[in-house]
Structure 1
């Protein structure tokens, strides 16, 4: 199953630039190393946004926990970076109750199943 209304998914710039790609963030800096190896940087955060939209949002999503706040989803797929290198990655999405589009939560390296 694809993420519902994937074409309208929201990806907050600060999640990418200030967290996943930030070498200064206390937690994000460890993820930033993973993304840097693929060629993604905070200075060009929009390249990662585009890659998520073009490469991840077209893949199957796995429904996770659903509660009164909404539905969680994860997408496990290959992410190819600007350098041409690629790695398995998991992106996490959340659709709030009453909304018809998901929001990007986070991403992390994923092992091949």
Structure 2
């Protein structure tokens, strides 16, 4: 088991949380926004949301590594404490691109969204 390479340099770019993960109008992000908002995350405590996601990058181990043309994606699962008082298991995805050694946050979603994934192994 290992952590994301250069995890101490991990970052979440600009408006990623506000315009994607917490956006109720984003074509792809709105289902995730509904989930995270139901746990108390919103525009008023976005810094807390970012801090909790960064804590997962800093403290949890890589569950899976995926090599792509754009870089290496790191799947990192962890517990997310929330403003509602509930902690929930989520999956975060980070990428290290060939031109930048810093892991960049891509997305996060509840573990139950992938818990029933039955990928073929043949």
TM-score category (smaller protein): 0.7 to 0.9
Q: How many residues align?
A: 113
Structure 1: runs of 5 or more not aligned: none
Aligned to 1:49: 50
Q: Quick check: which has more Rg, 1 or 2? A: 2
Equivalent residues in 2 for 1:1-113 (5 A)?
A: 1-111=2-112
Q: CA RMSD in A?
A: 1.9
CA contact (8 A) 2:80 2:87 kept: yes
Partner in structure 1 of residue 120 of structure 2: none
8 Å CA contact retained: 2:11, 2:54: no
Match of 1:26, SS?
coil
SS of match in other structure, 1:33: helix
Whole-angstrom CA distance in 2 between matches of 1:23 and 1:69 = 28
Query: Normalising by structure 1, what TM-score?
Result: 0.87
> How far did 1:27 drift?
2.1
Quick check: 2:94–2:106 contact (8 Å CA) kept in 1?
A: yes
TM-score, reference length from structure 2: 0.81
Distance 1:13 1:39, change over 3 A: farther
Deviation of residue 75 (structure 1)?
0.6
**TM-aligned CA distance change 1:100 to 1:56, over 3 Å:** closer
Structure 2, gaps ≥5 residues long: 117-122
Cα deviations across residues 51-108 of structure 1 (Å, max 9, x unaligned)? 1112443100134221443111011111111221111100000001143221000111
